[in-house]
Amino acid sequence: MRMDDSHTRAETLDLRLQQLARRGVTIVDPRQTFVDDDVDIARVESGVVLHPGTRLHGARTYLSAGVEVGHEGPAVLRDVVLGPRARVASGFVHGAVLLRDASLGANAHVRPGTLLEEEASTAHAVGLKHTILMSFVTLGSLINFCDALMTGGTSRSDHSEVGSGYIHFNYTPWGARGDKATPSLVGDVPRGVLLRERRIFLGGSGGMIGPRRVGFGAVAGAGQVLRRDVPADHLSVQTSRTVLRALSTELLGPCAPRREQNIRYIANLEALRAFYRELRLPRLPGEDEFAGEREVLEAAIETLSLAIRERVKRLAAFLEERGERPPAFRPRPRLPCPLEITRARARDYVDHVRWIQGRTDLEANMLRGWLIAIVEDRVQAEAG
């Protein structure tokens, strides 16, 4: 790069930082803050705080009011969408969506397909990819939790949690190149979205070999690797035994169990997407002050669609290598939300978490039944 090009680029960056400051963005040290040319300044709201070492990239990037980035170290954000008061302490975040008050601890490494709902959080050094953490779910430190959906609990003080030092093993060595048809469902969408189920605890210094299912109220003791599903309201302490035998990765196991696990996981993603499309998005007021929240929810829907496509692709590769025909996953008839959802006026709008917690038992049962019907409709449609 020539000196005059470098000078021009620096002037352009200074101008963009000044534009952000005029919009009400706090830039703690402009000398250590970078905003790429492809970032739309209008998509960074007043009240955002950018600490030294922050780098913003990508036309999709959207930072809502109250967002704080880089308060514990350098942070690189690319095509991320952050809801009100979401926080990224430090690390690299690409293509993720964080809803209101969700947070990523220091040294996060987060890749596309990741969605953190309201007040979901991680501590330091956590890796996520195609991970869905529903409201209030908490991950400790030093965790790799890719290709999993987790829910459970009722509030910030009663939530599902993964202990520190945990790994969701999302790759198996079987076949010519191994496979990643390994998503795990910890809780489920039809019950979890209602925020009235028992919390789940996965003890630290352990792991889970996907695909697995863990029911609400389950507790997995620390220091173990889950190789079997854990039913609801069960304590699991799975011991390992020494195995030493000849091995061939060309020996492929049965397809049916893995097929069923993947289809059910995809069906849960579809149910969650319907919940956003049919209930969460229509509830938002139409006033301009809610345009940012609409942007965040639409990004969440896009993320769920991306996650569905990824799971369909991984399952197809797994089955085709074993000579099986993949499910078609054709569009299913729309099942409408059983509650009458009307767009609220701004002065009457109730935040989603408070609104869902305030549903009557009858309304909650109706919503649960609707989402279960979406899941079972897909499972039955793809039954092999």
Q: What is the pLDDT of residue 346?
A: 84
Residue 142 has pLDDT above 60, yes or no: yes
Asked whether residue 3 carries a pLDDT value surpassing 60, the answer given is: no
The reported pLDDT for the residue numbered 2 is: 53
Give the Cα separation of 108 and 114 in Å (integer): 12
155: three-class secondary structure by DSSP: strand
Residue 325 has pLDDT above 60, yes or no: yes
Average pLDDT over residues 87-108: 99
Q: How far apart are CA 319 and CA 175, in angstroms?
A: 11
Radius of gyration in angstroms for the set of CA atoms belonging to the chain, rounded to a whole number:
22
CA dihedral of 263, 266, 271, 275, whole degrees rounded to 10: 180
> Which percentage of the chain shows pLDDT scores above 70?
98
**pLDDT, the chain, mean:** 95
Q: What is the 3-state secondary structure (H, E, C) of the chain?
A: CCHHHHHHHHHHHHHHHHHHHHCCCEECCHHHCEECCCCCHHHECCCCEECCCEEEECCCCEECCCCEECCCCCEEEECCEECCCCEECCEEEECCEECCCCEECCCEEECCCCEECCCCEECCCEEECCEEECCCCEECCCEECCCEEECCEEECCEECEECCCEEEECCECCCCCCECCCCEEECCHHHHCCCCECCCEECCCEEEECCCEECCCCEECCCCEECCCECCCCEECCCCCCCCCCCCCCCCCCCHHHHHHHHHHHHHHHHHHHHHHHHHHHHCCCCHHHHHHHHHHHHHHHHHHHHHHHHHHHHHHHHHHCCCCCCCCCCCCCCCCCCCCCCCCHHHCCCHHHHHHCCCHHHHHHHHHHHHHHHHHHHHHCCC
Beta bridge partners of 97: 81, 115
Is the pLDDT at 76 greater than 70? The verdict is: yes
Q: What's the CA gap between 301 and 96, in Å, rounded?
A: 12
- Confidence band, pLDDT 50/70/90 cuts, at residue 7: low
Give the pLDDT of residue 39: 98
Mean pLDDT for the stretch of residues 109-138: 99
Out of 75-89, 128-142, 149-163, 283-297, pick the least confident: 283-297
Q: Which pLDDT tens digit goes with each residue over 251-299?
A: 777 889 999 999 999 999 999 999 999 999 999 998 888 999 999 999 9
pTM: 0.95
pLDDT number for residue 5: 62
pLDDT for 326 beyond 90: yes
Sheet containing strand 225-226, strands side by side:
34-35, 54-57, 75-78, 91-94, 108-110, 126-128, 143-144, 166-169, 206-209, 225-226
Which of 256 and 142 is assigned the larger pLDDT? 142
Closest CA to 36 of 76, 73, 66, 3: 76
Work out the average pLDDT over 218-228.
96
pLDDT band per the 50, 70, 90 thresholds, residue 108: very high
What share of the chain has pLDDT > 90, as a percent?
Answer: 86
Whether the predicted pLDDT of 384 surpasses 70: no
The pLDDT of residue 349 is 92
pLDDT tens per residue across span 171-213: 988 888 888 999 999 999 999 999 999 999 999 999 999 999 9
- pLDDT of res. 277: 98
Give the end-to-end CA distance of the chain in Å, rounded to a whole number.
58
β-sheet with 115-116: strand ranges across: 62-63, 81-82, 97-98, 115-116, 131-133, 148-150, 184-186, 213-214
Question: At 346, phi and psi to the nearest 5?
Answer: -55, -45
pLDDT value for 246: 85
| Cα 5 → chain centroid | 40
Query: Over 50: is that where the pLDDT of 1 sits?
Result: no
Q: How confident is the model over 64-69, as a mean pLDDT?
A: 98
| pLDDT bucket at 4, cuts 50 / 70 / 90 | low
Q: What is the pLDDT of residue 8?
A: 79
| Per-residue pLDDT at 170 exceeds 80 | yes
